[in-house]
């Protein structure tokens, strides 16, 4: 099924209003990676549409045994994937099925009905990039218990608003979380230490592209760090401007280097910078 966008809108709502298909089925096609916008596969309900874009719904793809995002590495013990923005890592009280865990589990079970999967670490829902999952509990426990020792590089690429005062810096903060899940900088010694290093890669009059390396893995750490210095990440409606027009958060986990005990050496996982980032920072 193909159609050309005639009015601005968000993907799920636009399809529901313009094709004869129940919203539940459209969501299923999105979850299974069967919808393409301008030849780019997307799972985002709120993908921003503009007139002239082409939408293709692959009505056969929902039954194919493949993931709607790239597998970076897979063996009998782990699977490493490139999580899209807008997808939860694990279930919440409000969302059970549209999660990375659920989609990967379905994929593995389709190949082996006895397959299991375990989350090793997480990314925020709105952050895209590298996520490691284990296929057995022993591997999961070993990786989680030694995560800080095994992981020697956690690198992100981000696009932030404005130009930065320093081309590179090391931001050290102590973070706490409110009952409403908002992370903030503590003014005393309470909270957990968060260390964020950034370097400007490219900039224009409105935006700056950064390479970010973290020494700690705190919730919303990078988002809070950049907002605190006055350069919130583009698309960050939680810590930046609630009226930010971008439909995704411009933060992507692009490099992860970790010691893998099964082969007794380090592995470097890498993903390219999302195309949306490049368009914004021309």
What amino acid positions are annotated as catalytic residues? 124
Closest CA to 132 of 249, 250, 268: 268
Burial of 243 (0-12, 13-18, 19+ CB in 10 A): exposed
Q: Sheet containing 35-37: give its strands across.
A: 2-4, 54-57, 35-37, 40-41
Are 36 and 58 spatial neighbours (Cβ–Cβ below 8 Å)?
A: yes
Closest CA to 80 of 264, 268, 274, 242: 268
| H-type alpha helices, the chain | 11-18, 23-31, 100-111, 137-145, 147-150, 221-228, 275-280
């Amino acid at each position: 099924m193909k159609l050309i966008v005639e009015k601005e809108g968000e993907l799920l709502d636009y399809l529901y209003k313009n094709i004869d298909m129940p919203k539940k089925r459209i969501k299923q096609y999105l979850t299974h990676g069967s919808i393409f916008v301008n030849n780019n596969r997307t799972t985002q309900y709120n993908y921003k549409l503009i007139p002239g874009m082409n939408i293709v719904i692959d009505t056969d793809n929902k039954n194919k045994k493949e993931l709607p995002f790239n597998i970076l590495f897979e063996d009998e013990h782990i699977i490493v994937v490139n999580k899209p923005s807008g997808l939860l890592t694990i279930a919440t009280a409000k969302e059970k099925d549209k999660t990375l865990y659920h989609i990967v589990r379905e994929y593995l079970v389709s190949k082996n009905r006895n397959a299991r999967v375990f989350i090793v670490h997480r990314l925020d829902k709105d952050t895209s990039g590298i996520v490691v999952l284990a296929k057995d509990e022993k591997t999961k426990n070993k990786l989680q218990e030694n995560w800080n020792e095994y992981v020697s590089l956690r690198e992100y690429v981000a696009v932030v608003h404005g130009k930065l005062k320093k081309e590179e810096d090391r931001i050290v903060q102590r973070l706490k979380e409110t009952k409403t899940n908002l992370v903030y900088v503590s003014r005393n010694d309470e909270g957990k230490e968060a260390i964020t290093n950034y370097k400007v890669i490219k900039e224009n009059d409105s935006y700056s592209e950064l390479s970010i390396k973290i020494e700690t893995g705190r919730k919303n750490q990078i988002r809070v760090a950049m907002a605190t210095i006055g350069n919130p990440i583009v698309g960050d409606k939680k810590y930046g401007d609630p009226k930010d027009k971008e439909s995704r958060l411009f933060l992507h986990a692009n490099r992860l280097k970790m010691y893998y005990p099964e082969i007794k050496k380090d592995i470097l996982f890498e993903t390219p910078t999302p195309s949306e980032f490049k368009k914004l920072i021309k």
